[in-house]
Amino acid sequence: MNLPPLFVVAHRAGNSIAELNTAEAAGADIVEADVWARHGALEVRHLKTMGPIPILWDRWKLSPGWTRRLSLAEIVRAARPATELLLDLKGTDPLLPAMVVETMEKEAPGRPYAVCSRNWDLLEEFRHYPAVRALHSVGSPAQLRTVWGRLTWHDNHAISIHRRLLSAAAVAALKEKASAVVTWPINTVGHLEEVAGWGVDGVTTDSLALLRAVHAFRTAPPPRLLN
């Protein structure tokens, strides 16, 4: 493996305490968690609700909605102090950003964290918090065409973009506007080396094997030179 310095985000690993701990042990730099506002509380989960029907769902998966749900505060308390959280803001509740800020200031004052969303309006609140990195998530050519007008913030706004939309030229253009370019999904060493060669700053992966491989690469002792 031949990599420049870049950071690795463990995709959705913050949606359970067990997966959070596993990702930390595997060497993740940042752990992503999906955050929803519901009934005045912050829930950490990827699955969506079905209104009054007590079922959670996503594509081909259904889950009972009456079981206890994990809170953002619990994830923050469970994370290692050195673990940076990337909070993926879900839904459309306009109160969600302020609730996130309040929870993070209460549970982990001064700890760096980042937020991302496909709903860019939810990121507007973080204009007032320059220490929080805000990632505009871009998953389609149409979003890529329109995101440029959003990159007018403080020095800590960034891009999280699907790999299929990138090239070396695209990364270079984005880095003229954004503080960092992060790409997903990166689940093989081949894809990792490709996007690293384009100059991305970070990658998001679902693969524990890839996390461990990057960690091993970083921590391997330098080769001994023969006299």
Domain ranges of the chain: 7-219
Considering the segment(s) 7-219 as one domain, its CATH architecture is Alpha-Beta Barrel (3.20)
Nearest partner of 171 among 137, 199, 141, judged by Cα: 199
Q: Which residues of 131-149 are buried (b: 16+ CB within 10 A; e: fewer)?
A: ebbbbbbbeeeebbeebee
Structure confidence by residue, pLDDT tens digits, 195-227: 999 999 999 999 999 999 998 888 876 666 555
Reduce the DSSP state of residue 178 to 3 states and report it. coil
Q: Above 90 in pLDDT, residue 1?
A: no
Instruction: Give the lowest-confidence range in 11-25, 101-115, 140-154.
Output: 140-154
Of 47-56, 72-81, 189-198, the range with the lowest mean pLDDT is: 47-56
Percent pLDDT > 90 in the chain is 70
**CA proximity to 95, closest of 42, 52, 158, 48:** 42
Query: pTM for the whole thing?
Result: 0.88
* Higher pLDDT, residue 101 or 40: 101
Of 23-32, 66-75, 182-191, the one with minimum mean pLDDT is 66-75
| The pairing of beta strand 157-162 with beta strand 133-138 | parallel
Q: Is the pLDDT of residue 5 over 70?
A: yes
Q: What is the pLDDT of residue 157?
A: 82
* Mean per-residue pLDDT, 117-134: 91
In this structure, the chain runs to a length of: 227
Average pLDDT over residues 58-68: 47
